[in-house]
Amino acid sequence: MSLKITDQCVNCDVCEPVCPNKAISLGREYYEIAPDLCTECVGHHDEPQCVIVCPVECIIPDPEHPESPDALLAKYARLTG
Ligand code: SF4
Ligand code: SF4
């Protein structure tokens, strides 16, 4: 499942550089995650790096983009292949 950033985001910018897939960018009002690029960090790290660094805990699973662990691994393979 891709993660998403809620409107609680304070635009602190610390999550953007830690994403191994360059899935995070500044949107119109606050930071956003591109669902087609987020693997929940599967393949790169044991835990979602953006969630670890976010000071306001505003990064949550996106129910509109459900994916199994296998699907996340396949996405990782596609992105890194
Ligand atoms: S969970 Fe990982 S891949 Fe997804 S946006 Fe956060 S840092 Fe990037
Ligand atoms: S770390 Fe959290 S508060 Fe900071 S820009 Fe990223 S989502 Fe927003």
CA angle 21, 25, 30 (to 5 degrees): 140
How does pLDDT run along the chain (81 residues), one tens digit per residue? 789 999 999 999 999 999 999 999 999 999 999 999 999 999 999 999 999 999 999 999 999 999 999 999 999 999 998
Provide CATH code, domain 3-80.
3.30.70.20
Residue ranges per domain, the chain? 3-80
Return the pLDDT at 1: 73
Q: In this predicted model, what pLDDT tens digit does every residue of 25-37 receive, in sequence order? A: 999 999 999 999 9
Rounded distance, CA 70 to CA 26, Å? 29
Residue where the block lists tokens 């199994």: 68
Mutate to test the pocket of ligand 2, among 4, 6, 7, 11 (most ligand atoms within 8 A of CB): 11
Mean pLDDT of the chain: 96
Report pTM.
Answer: 0.95
As a whole number of Å, the end-to-end CA separation of the chain is 20
Under 8 Å CB-to-CB from 64, ≥6 apart: which residues?
Answer: 35
Say how many Å lie between the CA of residue 35 and the centre of ligand 2: 16
